[in-house]
Chain A
Amino acid sequence: MSKTRTATAALLVLTFVVSFCSFVYEFVYSELLTVIYGGTVTQYVITIGLYFFSLGVGAALSDDLNPNNYGENFFRTEVLLAAVAPAGFLLIIGLNSVRIPQDVPPAVLWTVARLPVVVVGFLSGFELPLLTHMVDNSNSEDTATPAWIHHLGERLHDWTVACLGVFWNVEHKTGKRSGLSVVLAMDYVGGLCGAVVYARLLYPELGLIPTIFVLALLNAVASLAFVAYFSDLSLTQSDTADRRVLGDSTATPLVGRVPKTLLVVCLLLTASYAGVVANHDATDERLSELYLEQQIENEYPPDTMNIEVTDQETTQYQHVIRYERTWTGTGPNPYFTGRSESCLRLGSAVQLCDSWADSYHNGLVDVPMSLVDSGPETEVLVVGGGDWIAIDHLREYNVTVDQVDLDAQFMNTTKNDPFFRHWHDDAYEYDRLQTVAADGYRYLQQTNETYDLVLLDIPGATDDDLLTLYSREFYRSVRKHLSDDGMMVTWAYSPDQYPEHHKTFVNTVGAAGFTRQLPYWAWEDVDSDNEVERIERFYVFAPSDRRPLSVANGTAYVQQYRDRYHDRQWQRVPRYRGVRVNSVFHPNYDVLVDT
């Protein structure tokens, strides 16, 4: 194998590695931004757009890099990437962990959170032109691959060119290919491999935080390998000439002068990242705990609540977080009785706290149960509710229950977990309960059952994955499976705080054929201050007139808060002009909150 042959092969391997890293960095950023800000499509599309734009800017400016120092500039680029990519990741997390003054415009935060995407794209833009120049300068006429692979490649090439010739005017090229074509080809292969490895291995097996450090380690090691191979810092003297020679007629090292400081930085980064990757479980757990704790604390006024994450688990569908919240404010605790209590989140959305677990389900179950008869002949469908608590409340009325929830793993966990058992009291053993682990939308399309009551105990509309459960098609499926007097019940976001979501939600429900609504709150004195507080807002929807909510004939909960329910009346579902409904095939992203 000639001197330049191996040099070219090494440069192509490097192209593969840096391309792999570059693509996966952007996947990691996209997912991180989705986790934090919501809106999968929005975040991925903007990240990819910014990435390609920054790549273009970097590539355009690469012509200004000194042509006598391609190797050195490539090394600088790779060290910078290895340093900047994880730092950018931590910057995005930090932005959402610290309290940002209200005076800071949202556009500034939006921009700063996307800076890592731009910087990584810009630096990656240098890579291909530099590598192309280096490959072009290598002057290799031979192939670095074994003969049989070379032969196979030639046959494949012949066949591909023949196919191209059907439509294009082609000229079969033999011998050395241009540096641009081989580097680009290797770049795309690296990108594809990056996508597959990230989707099938890195993200599901390691998670986002270790992945970014694995990539940075790979980047740093590639930098060191490049320097070791193409500079005077070769490991052995015997083959120095091979390693540093550019072409047959020159003996100039590709990396003429290695900045010692940069080399030390690169070595330190490599060692640090290796340490982090070796202890990735502990790093992942600690970093995510810190982020989550700070993020949840920021939901309260400054210095009023301390959060301690006690447990985390990631199922196939959601991230389950358990934590203790402790009141640290100066006055009386307005959130719950006592100083501490346990809560549960699915992703970023709070699902359950000790202080209101019961009253939330009073609102979801006990209020609408005042509108239907008790007994086995009443058929109820619960969509979601994997914590079994709604089932426990329904059991009190001896009704027949079908439950459909996507996350069987979460449902199994909650069966025996002491925190949940306290609230569901082994309700999964209820003899009139039939549980199906499936997607609620798909279940409703396939079942022939009809229900007197459909309870939607589903997560908030924070993610594109949930668009279907807030769509006209889903609500229409629910309506079609209601009995003649059937109703649908759901909790709802504040119309003042999320006006666009609310209007889209209401128009969507209306478009699905629901014409009557009964809005109400669940109530309880959660902080023992002798004042009853609002717990959650709910709606009962029906396609036609239904019997009024009668306090006298209501459930024990409705009678307990009779002054809150005595004047609840059915109304027409309002419609708002200029607000498009959310449909599966024509989504209205206004239905998502926090995007």
Chain B
Amino acid sequence: MRRRQFIAATGIGAITALGGCLGNKSPPPRRSSVISDFEVGNGTLVIDFATDKWVMSRYDGANQSSAMASPVGVASAKGSSGGSSGRGATGRGTGGYTSAPRTGHGHAWYHGGDYADDWYDDHEDEVTQYPVTVVALGVAYLGSTDQMRDEAPDAGAIPWDREFQNPSKTVTYDVADRQESAQAGWYRIGANIVGTDSNHDFRWECYDLEISDTTTGFNLDERWKVSPRI
């Protein structure tokens, strides 16, 4: 074999092999329909829930008894407005700031990309769509755009500025009532969802919104859905 052919062949082989290391084999963020729309008008953030709320999960509810089950995360999320990221102050189980999942791990666009489609196609028999109920909704100010760029929190609940228990179809939150320096910027909206039939706690579906303050009032500029991996 000529040397160049040899090097080309081994190069292709190596790249293929390394592709296995570099490729993302983690499951994609789970799909769900919990909140249908956000609007900002007259300084108020309006959050509309979806009519049919559901989440896709690998949770195997077939043999799970609902009699003894109860939501886990609801009570533990209450009133945790300290600075410990709402996830434990020790750092043992969280890994700290730099190891927090970033866009590639816990965050996702609404759709999740082609790899998400492929994953769901390949794991069709492992995933079930569960109807869910929202038992709590939390709203928290994350900070300015610059702060968000540096310190985007990972998926899941954070210390909420305000929490609504058993919310109805629509929830409103007054952005204009906040301190002026902490009105524009990023917000996290989190919905704690529990299986309607299974009563299994599916923890939190979150949305990060960027709200800007313009001469004509508040605008909703960006919206990200932040789901844990399925």
Contact = CB atoms under 8 A, between A and B. Distances in A.
A334 interface: yes
Interface string B219-230: 000000000111
A534 B58 contact: no
B96 to A, nearest CB: 3
A405 to B, nearest CB: 17
Contacts of B100: 497
A576 B57 CA distance: 8
Interface in B41-99: 58-60, 63-65, 68-70, 72, 75-76, 79-84, 86-99
Nearest to A518: B72
B206 to A, nearest CB: 9
B64 A576 contact: no
B90 A536 contact: yes
B173 to A, nearest CB: 20
Interface string B106-138: 100000000000000001011110000000000
Q: How large is the interface on A (under 10, 10 to 19, 20 to 34, 35 or more residues)?
A: 35 or more
Interface stretch (B19-27, B162-170, B178-186, B207-215): B19-27
Nearest to A304: B97
A4 interface: no
Contacts of B98: 99, 298-299
A577 B62 CA distance: 11
A567 B80 CA distance: 17
Nearest to A517: B72
A336 B90 CA distance: 10
Contacts of B194: none
Interface residues of B, number: 69
A579 B58 contact: yes
Contact of B60 (A497, A498, A577): A577
A534 B69 contact: no
- The SS class assigned to the B binding surface is loop
B228 A495 contact: yes
Given A529-B83, A531-B79, A494 B94 contact: yes
A366 to B, nearest CB: 16
Interface string A337-362: 00000000000011101011000100
Contact of A519 (B18, B72, B92): B72
A574 B60 contact: yes
B63 A356 contact: no
B126 A577 contact: yes
A105 B102 CA distance: 10
A350 B123 contact: no
Given A298-B98, A571-B70, A536 B88 contact: yes
A496 B106 contact: yes
B188 interface: no
B76 A360 contact: no
B108 to A, nearest CB: 13
Contacts of B17: 49
B150 A301 contact: yes
A485 interface: no
A500 B89 contact: no
A527 interface: yes
Interface string A484-501: 000000011111111110
Contact of A350 (B72, B86, B92): B92
Q: Which among B11, B93, B155 has the highest number of chain A CB atoms within 10 Å?
A: B93
Q: Which among A564, A577, A593 has the highest number of chain B CB atoms within 10 Å?
A: A577
Given A301-B151, A529-B83, A534-B84, A349 B92 contact: yes
A574 B58 CA distance: 10
B64 to A, nearest CB: 5
B177 to A, nearest CB: 21
Interface string A55-90: 011001101000000000000000000000000000
A299 B90 CA distance: 12
A53 B6 CA distance: 12
Contacts of B101: 497
B204 interface: yes
B90 A575 contact: no
B95 A594 contact: yes
Interface string B24-40: 00110000000000000
B171 interface: no
Contacts of A56: 10
B87 A497 contact: yes
A494 B97 contact: no
Given A536-B90, A574-B60, 9 more contacts: A57-B7, A60-B7, A299-B96, A360-B90, A497-B94, A497-B95, A520-B76, A532-B80, A575-B59
26 contacts: A53-B10, A61-B7, A102-B149, A102-B152, A110-B21, A110-B22, A299-B99, A301-B150, A493-B92, A494-B94, A495-B156, A495-B228, A496-B157, A497-B154, A500-B229, A516-B68, A531-B79, A531-B80, A533-B83, A533-B89, A534-B88, A575-B59, A576-B58, A577-B127, A577-B128, A579-B58
Interface of B: 3, 6-7, 10-11, 14, 17-18, 21-22, 26-27, 58-60, 63-65, 68-70, 72, 75-76, 79-84, 86-104, 106, 123, 125-128, 149-152, 154-157, 200, 203-204, 228-230
